[in-house]
Structure 1
Amino acid sequence: MAIRTATIDDLDEICQLFTDTIISVNSKDYSAEQISAWSSRGGDKDRWLNKINEQYFIVSYNGKEINGFASLTLSGYLDFMFVHKNHQGKGVALQMLNSLECKALGLDIHEIISDVSITAKPFFLSNGFKVLAQQSVSIDAVTLTNFKMRKEI
Structure 2
Amino acid sequence: MLTIRKATSDDTLDAWDIRRTAVLAACAEYYPEAFLSAWVDGSPSDKWAHVVERDFYVAVDEGCVVGTGMLTVENGQVDAIFVRSSHMGRGIGRKMLHLLEALARDRGIASMKLDATLNAAPFYRCCGWSGDSISIYRTSRGLELACVPMTKCVALP
TM-score (norm 1): 0.90
CA distance in 2, matches of 1:87, 1:14: 14
- CA displacement 1:55-101 (0-9 Å, x = unmatched): 2x110011221110001001210021101111111110111011101
Contact 1:15–1:45 (CA<8 Å) still a contact in 2?
Answer: no
State the identity %: 26
Q: How does 1:74-93 map to 2 (within 5 A)?
A: 74=73, 75-93=75-93
Runs of 5+ consecutive residues of structure 2 not aligned to the other structure: none
Q: What secondary structure does 1:28 align onto?
A: coil
Given residue 27 of structure 2, which amino acid in structure 1 is its aligned partner?
N
Which moved further from structure 2: 140-149 or 104-113?
140-149
1:152: which partner in 2? 153
Cα distance, 1:47 vs structure 2 = 2.5
Higher helix share: 1
- C-alpha RMSD of the superposition: 1.7
Contact 1:54–1:73 (CA<8 Å) still a contact in 2?
Answer: no
Which moved further from structure 2: 70-79 or 130-139?
130-139
2:34: which partner in 1? 33
2:102: which partner in 1? 102
Q: How does 1:61-72 map to 2 (within 5 A)?
A: 61-72=60-71
Runs of 5+ consecutive residues of structure 1 not aligned to the other structure: none
Given residue 65 of structure 1, which amino acid in structure 2 is its aligned partner?
C
Contact 2:77–2:114 (CA<8 Å) still a contact in 1?
Answer: yes
Q: What secondary structure does 2:133 align onto?
A: strand
Higher strand share: 1
Which moved further from structure 2: 125-134 or 90-99?
125-134
Aligned length in residues: 151
Contact 2:12–2:44 (CA<8 Å) still a contact in 1?
Answer: no
1:119 counterpart = 2:119: yes
Q: How does 1:45-64 map to 2 (within 5 A)?
A: 45-55=45-55, 57-64=56-63
In structure 2, relative to structure 1, the CA distance for the partners of 1:46 and 1:136 (3 Å cut) is same
Moved over 6 A (4+): none
Cα distance, 1:121 vs structure 2 = 0.7
Contact 1:59–1:68 (CA<8 Å) still a contact in 2?
Answer: yes
Given residue 150 of structure 1, which amino acid in structure 2 is its aligned partner?
T
Which moved further from structure 2: 43-52 or 1-10?
43-52
